[in-house]
Structure 1
């Protein structure tokens, strides 16, 4: 009987079919808009500031770590576009961390002046008006937020509404009349919207005759003093034309200190444990050397015991244990007033 009623009443399911069709239509419309909204991209070579955030070479980047392709703002730079001081973030508050600017805030790409290739990675291809590249002027101040007056155009590629591939590369001649820390701004103007994408690249620009020397790699890492819970490191000084600002000390790959001298005491360690260290030098322009060769050192073994601190006035019998300057010592015979580590009566455990 159910089948008979359905056959006799063919329009009974029309409301359901209409609702299903409307849902399908809305889904298709949403998909179209989603494809348009996902038309994003970033400069992957030389690595842009936001792409380095994705790679965690740059840290404390906020949302840019997860969305290096989303710095989208009004197009028409420099006449329009994001406000001065907000250029790196394309004026979007969620990426405000990218606007922070100092000589040492961001990791830099070493770049030679002259012919260079700039490659964009597009998470969705979008018809394009043009691509433009700007560089900071000779006298720009790297301690101030980036503004229009800091920049000058050096390369432009016109697409006239063409749809680009996923990887887009442009050959441009980077100016050879300046050296040191500079910013390169790449803009991608979308043809059928009012928006553009903005990418900042931090570069250490090198040109022939510039005399720029990047930080040399720290060498000769030694440790003369080890205690139960600390290791004292020393190394040979690095050199750079801009002068050395500080060093970065890494223990087992993690940054543990930034001393300004060629010595560092690493504390809070476990007894009788080996640790491996590497060191980088950072110059006054924020350029970093490569990591030093690794060097491993071991904290002292306390024998699994605790011992009272040595006292110069107390008498000790043979076999007594004391702690002194982070070491455990055992007396060979009766002693008083003889300093552990100096007098022969004491054996370091």
Structure 2
């Protein structure tokens, strides 16, 4: 190998990791989370609870559809799955509005809400593209007291969904 080729190869080997870190990530264009009542990732972003990476990208809890974890199966955001972390519990009424803040709108199949081990609400968007804020009125039915709500935004044109957990006290 000529000296100039060796130098070029060495320069490429040194610069490639720097460029890879400095370029924006394709999937990090991000997407959305529940801002009100404050979801766990909203509490991290606000500094209410001390968290890791999720503090800087609360909208990025994305994973395959069908999961039941607050982290969406993403190990970078595993602190969202820790029920003992000191999450602030928000008092809510039996019928409560959940507000999603979207940083990138995706065609949507459904929005789902789970509490008490079952699905308590589903909203079918039929593939429509939402606006920057999406509100859903959710009825907790017979559930009362402290509940962990799992909210899921199912994207229509991919196999992924976005996940958010919200700690509430229904009727409290």
Give, in whole Å, the separation in 2 of the partners of 1:39 and 1:53: 16
Q: TM-score if structure 2 supplies the norm length?
A: 0.80
**Within the alignment, does 1:48 sit opposite 2:2 as a pair?**
no
**Within the alignment, does 1:100 sit opposite 2:82 as a pair?**
yes
State which structure, 1 or 2, has the greater radius of gyration over its C-alpha atoms.
Answer: 1
**Within the alignment, does 1:124 sit opposite 2:119 as a pair?**
no
RMSD: 2.1
SS of the residue corresponding to residue 182 of structure 1 reads: strand
Give, in whole Å, the separation in 2 of the partners of 1:174 and 1:74: 26
Q: 1:39 Cα deviation (Å)?
A: 4.4
Structure-to-structure mapping, 1:198-277, within 5 angstroms: 198-206=163-171
Structure-to-structure mapping, 1:64-75, within 5 angstroms: 64-75=54-65
Q: 1:177 Cα deviation (Å)?
A: 3.8
Give, in whole Å, the separation in 2 of the partners of 1:53 and 1:64: 7
Structure-to-structure mapping, 1:20-31, within 5 angstroms: none
Alignment deviations for residues 162-192 of structure 1 (CA, whole Å, 9 cap, x no partner): 110010111121234422x210110000011
Q: TM-score if structure 1 supplies the norm length?
A: 0.41
User: 1:65/1:39 Cα in 2 relative to 1: closer, same or farther (>3 Å)?
Assistant: closer
User: 1:101/1:128 Cα in 2 relative to 1: closer, same or farther (>3 Å)?
Assistant: same
Tell me the equivalent position of 2:151.
186
SS of the residue corresponding to residue 162 of structure 1 reads: coil
Give, in whole Å, the separation in 1 of the partners of 2:125 and 2:40: 25
User: Where do 5+ consecutive residues of structure 2 fail to align?
Assistant: 1-22
Equivalent pairs counted in the alignment come to 150
**Within the alignment, does 1:162 sit opposite 2:128 as a pair?**
yes
Give, in whole Å, the separation in 1 of the partners of 2:153 and 2:143: 26
Which has the larger share of helix?
2
